[in-house]
Amino acid sequence: MKKIILLVIIFFFVSCKNENQEIIQYDKQGKMISKGYMNDDEESLDSILYFNDGMMNSKMVFSKENKLSFYTKFYNENGLESEGNTINKVKDGRWKYYDSKNRLRKTVEYKNICNEEFANQEFNYDEKGRLIAEKSTYYTHKFKDPKFELNKVNELTVNYVPFIKKGTTSLLVFSPEFDSSFCNINAVKKDSVSTTTHLTFKIDVSFGDKGKNNFRGYILEYYYKETSENVFTRREKKTFINIPVVVE
């Protein structure tokens, strides 16, 4: 095995028969800052380890296409700080965040909204792992009938825990024309409903196609803040909803 070390920030390769090819990066002082491993095809990455002062502080494991990766960050070699998936380097799905004692303290649901990373829901926990609702923002949903039939109305109930706890107004905005990444929310016809009680939305939905369908919408939470005398600015937050259903 031959090894070449360049004291500049540059990738180099170490190849060894029957082993994955390595890609190592050094800083100007000669300290290793990352080590990558290639797949057997030698065209895509299997994983990358990142180092700080000689200690591994994060790791990324890739799918074969290198579009999907699982990211893990450490306080040290034994203490997990956060973990979650990325798609094309954008956080996706639920990411978990831990304290220095390896206790889960926060979960954030990330969505790709029109090709941008978006923190959609947040769940915070106390030291015993109990949800702290007053420090969280999320929604739950339930259909009156778990079975879906073609063109048959089914009542959907959405309960919302708002980001701002007092003084806001919330609407559930929805459309059968919303695309999966919500890029067209300003271009299609929409309907909306206001809350009933305790930030609960109720809506009748039906589907005209058999098989896989989706109910898509977003909760629009907004309030007005006085910035100067008799001048108000509107602040708002969206929480996106994409519920898959199967129509028989």
- Does 3 reside within a domain? no
Query: Which 3 state secondary structure label does DSSP give 207?
Result: coil
Residues 187 and 109 in one domain: no
Q: Higher-confidence residue: 20 or 21?
A: 21
Q: What is the CATH number of the domain that holds 119?
A: 3.90.930.1
Per-residue confidence (pLDDT) for residue 64, from 0 to 100: 66
Which range, 109-118, 195-204, 229-238, has the best average confidence (pLDDT)? 109-118
- Does 6 reside within a domain? no
Per-residue confidence (pLDDT) for residue 12, from 0 to 100: 38
Is the per-residue pLDDT at 31 higher than 70? yes
Per-residue confidence (pLDDT) for residue 42, from 0 to 100: 66
Q: How far is CA 8 from CA 3, 11, 35, in A?
A: 15, 9, 15
Residues 17 and 128 in one domain: yes
CB atoms within 10 A of CB 136: 17
Residues 122 and 227 in one domain: no
Which residues are CB-contacts of 164 (< 8 A; sequence separation ≥ 6)?
Answer: 221, 223, 237
Residues 128 and 202 in one domain: no
- Does 211 reside within a domain? yes
What value does the mean pLDDT take over residues 131-142? 96
Residues 106 and 20 in one domain: yes
Per-residue confidence (pLDDT) for residue 30, from 0 to 100: 87
What value does the mean pLDDT take over residues 60-66? 77
Provide the residue type at 107 as one letter.
T
Residues 144 and 176 in one domain: yes
pTM attached to this predicted model: 0.81
Provide the residue type at 65 as one letter.
E
Residue 199, CB-side half-sphere exposure with 13 Å CA sphere: 19
Rounded distance, CA 207 to CA 151, Å? Answer: 5
Rounded distance, CA 140 to CA 28, Å? Answer: 51
Query: For 101-111, what is each residue's pLDDT tens digit?
Result: 999 999 999 99
Residues 24 and 123 in one domain: yes
- Does 83 reside within a domain? yes
* Encoded tokens for 9: 């920030």
Residues 122 and 143 in one domain: no
- Does 1 reside within a domain? no
Query: For 39-59, what is each residue's pLDDT tens digit?
Result: 777 667 788 888 888 788 888
Domain count, the chain: 2
Per-residue confidence (pLDDT) for residue 13, from 0 to 100: 38
Is the per-residue pLDDT at 203 higher than 50? yes
The domain in which residue 67 lies consists of 11-135
Residues 125 and 18 in one domain: yes
* Encoded tokens for 156: 């959907």
What value does the mean pLDDT take over residues 75-89? 86
Residues 188 and 241 in one domain: yes
Residues 130 and 202 in one domain: no
